[in-house]
Chain A
Amino acid sequence: MSSSAGVSLDDVKRVAELANLELTAEEEPRMQRDLNAILGHIAELNELDTTGVPAMAQVGEILGLLTQENGEALRVDAIRPSVDRMAVMASAPETDGRFFKVPKVIER
């Protein structure tokens, strides 16, 4: 967060590629403007010294709810019926009834 140079158009393109998003030429500068505005606000976090403060992924950690012994919070590992395959495939954009069909994976 130390860099105040901000997000460039190339950064927007790179991040869009990482996120599998295809932005139009019109969207790119708008996203650049918005990201810079939001990151400018987020930079306020730098005012805080967080040296030695543990990172918190979710609240259970800080409440000590995730530390049960023997993992009794986990359910029994037993086979049970799952959602019906036909019902799942009914919502697929393209399927042969057994598998999801997709365009060519290997590009040459």
Chain B
Amino acid sequence: MELLTIDSVRTAVTGGTKTAVAFAEEHFARIVAEDGPAGPDSPDAKGINSYLTLSRERALAQAAKVDAAVAAGETLGPLAGVPIGIKDVLTMVGSAATAGSRILEGYRPPYDATAVAKLEAAGAVLLGKLNCDEFAMGSSNENSAYGLVRNPRALDRVPGGSSGGSAAAVAADFAVATLGTDTGGSIRQPAAFCGVVGVLPTYGRVSRYGLIAFASSLDRVGPFTRTVKDAATMLEVLAGKDERDATSSDKAVGSYVSDLEKPVAGLRVGVPAEYFGEGLDSEIRAAIERVLDGLRALGCVVQPVSLPHTKYAVPTYYVIATAEASSNLSRFDGVRFGLRAEEANTLSAMYRRTRDAGFGPEVKRRILLGTYALSAGYYDAYYKKAQQVRTLLTRDFLTAFEQVDVIVSPVTPTPAFKLGEKTDDPVKMYLEDIYSVAASLAGICGVSVPCGNTKDGLPIGVQIMGKHFDEGTMLRVAAVVEDLEF
């Protein structure tokens, strides 16, 4: 069966061969039948658990509006009628926002995230909110307070995290595209595990207004899609300055879709030896080598580059991300929204009990680590040291990008691992991010593109990293990689 793309849905809707309402209803029917736990009344259910809530009313009203615009012969947006899901760390009026946490239970945000509003303004039909690791903290989507997510490509395996629901929904045909967020790999890694395309835009490229913050110097919003062209379409809609997000950039947004037509011959492709060391799965290594052969055949100049501080990226990341998280998550205190512990007599007891009852173990672990790194006597040794190493990691990329146009590497050291395999060992889980966190710290853009499967049929992803604000070149290379035969 040919899976839908943004292009195919938009063509059908604007051409009048199928309505936006019909596309939405079909998706809702499939989600209801297949996403939940199996049981006597749900024979087709796979227990993927990608959606936390469906926004049926809002979706169908929007779909009807799109269909009316088609009937009236109006000009339609680039996402007209396209069913899209939203990671539940972004706010959307009419839907609960949980961030995968008990502490936000019952919270219904009174405003739309800018990314959400932009998608809808472009004609997208927003189906609902997608499961994720609690406050986007995790690499396996096993940290959600609302249950784990299964990988649609292998139901006994993790979909990756933290945007596991967003990747799984695209892979399982529960949405044509989705929004995720990436702080240390949370878009690229689940995209690789589920066999879909996932884009980490440059820091500042996409507004974060309405994103429930994890680590503000790292958090980014980006799309999951089935094709690179769809990703380019999504990015063109999402990118741009937002006066509600002071960190968003006013740099001109590229013509990402039309850029895909430009040839790749002559582009310089860097290969960092540091990303091909010990611990890299041999089938993934072979797949990346096939990608490089394919790029050579298309006239790209493949050459080695050095990113000498790579091995320090994970420890640097886990200091900076947890320090920022400990500060950002102090706002969850039972006063303004979400959960409040009932049995507390004083304000301070209420704070502590609310946070104890509301946060899961991984979130507590990271708040404690971040608080420790920022506490008196440790600040210089941990936080300042990590900020200095972050400068070195960023300089690595700036130097490499003087010599090459893009950098190609694996996304993950292994294919999707089994559920429960790494939950007992946080360091092991954190090392899962070894190839993704450096790009996060340096603020550059990256994309994960499917490049074949392992012998066991598990998807493999290749990461293409681009210069700051050069998503156009990065996606152009991604598009030819997508077309290679594996």
Interface residues of A (CB under 8 A from B): 1-2, 7, 11-12, 15-16, 18-24, 27, 30-31, 34-35, 37-48, 50, 53-60, 62-63, 65, 73-75, 83-84, 87-88, 90-94, 100, 102-105, 107
Find out whether the CB atom of A58 lies under 8 angstroms from the CB atom of B372: no
B111 to chain A, nearest CB (A): 6
Q: A residues within 8 A CB of B364?
A: 21, 23, 27, 31
Bound CA–CA A33/B107 (angstroms): 34
Q: B residues within 8 A CB of A93?
A: 334-335, 337-340
* B71 CB within 8 Å of chain A: no
Contact with A along B318-351 (1 / 0, CB 8 A): 1100000010001001111111100011111111
Q: B residues within 8 A CB of A50?
A: 385, 388-389, 392
Residue of A nearest to B353 (CB): A22
B286 to chain A, nearest CB (A): 29
Q: A residues within 8 A CB of B250?
A: 73
Given the interface pairs A91-B106, A91-B337, the reply to whether A102 lies near B350 with Cβ below 8 Å is yes
Given the interface pairs A11-B372, A55-B388, A84-B110, the reply to whether A45 lies near B316 with Cβ below 8 Å is yes
Q: A residues within 8 A CB of B394?
A: 56, 59, 62
Find out whether the CB atom of B372 lies under 8 angstroms from the CB atom of A59: no
Find out whether the CB atom of A42 lies under 8 angstroms from the CB atom of B382: yes
Bound CA–CA A43/B373 (angstroms): 12
Given the interface pairs A34-B365, A45-B312, A73-B246, the reply to whether A91 lies near B391 with Cβ below 8 Å is no
A36 to chain B, nearest CB (A): 10
Bound CA–CA A49/B108 (angstroms): 48
Find out whether the CB atom of A65 lies under 8 angstroms from the CB atom of B312: no
Find out whether the CB atom of B427 lies under 8 angstroms from the CB atom of A41: yes
* B453 CB within 8 Å of chain A: no
* B387 CB within 8 Å of chain A: yes
Contact among B108, B349, B351, B387 for A57, CB-based, below 8 A? B387
* B157 CB within 8 Å of chain A: no
A1 to chain B, nearest CB (A): 4
Given the interface pairs A37-B427, A50-B385, A90-B110, the reply to whether A19 lies near B391 with Cβ below 8 Å is no
